[in-house]
Amino acid sequence: MPTTIPLPDDIAQRLQSRAALRGVSLDEFVTDLLTDLLETEPDDSPTLDPVIAEIKATRPDPAGFHPATQSLAEQLAHSPDDPSFDARAWNRQWTAVEAEMKAVTRANDLAEGRD
């Protein structure tokens, strides 16, 4: 099954150089490289359920607990100003991000037959 994986130019050039050193095609070199990696890498990564169970079973560390001294709203209201923060520029950028998200959602809806 052919698969296309976009790679940064420097990595593609390094792979091409190594394939040439071995006297094989780039496809053959990458296939061999990935096959070797998959055969040597243990596939014993924990699944999500045991990880969650371990987290749930872990007792809280009292040293890591710091009780609140004020509400989040109060803390934010009295936080220091960042003179480098440009609210107008941020709002313009956020408006552009939202417009792009809406456009992508609309394009997906059209591609999937939802109007």
Distance (Å, rounded) from C-alpha 29 to C-alpha 26?
Answer: 5
The pTM of the full predicted model, rounded to 2 decimals, is: 0.37
Positive/negative CA dihedral, 52, 56, 58, 63: positive
Domain locations in the chain?
9-40, 87-115
Q: What is the mean pLDDT of the chain?
A: 89
pLDDT in tens, 26-76: 999 999 998 888 887 666 777 888 889 999 999 888 888 888 989 999 988
Q: To the nearest whole percent, how much of the chain has pLDDT over 70?
A: 97
Residue 13 CA, distance from chain mean position: 25
pLDDT value at residue 83: 87
Residue 87's alpha-carbon distances to 79, 93, 94, 113, in angstroms, are: 16, 10, 10, 39
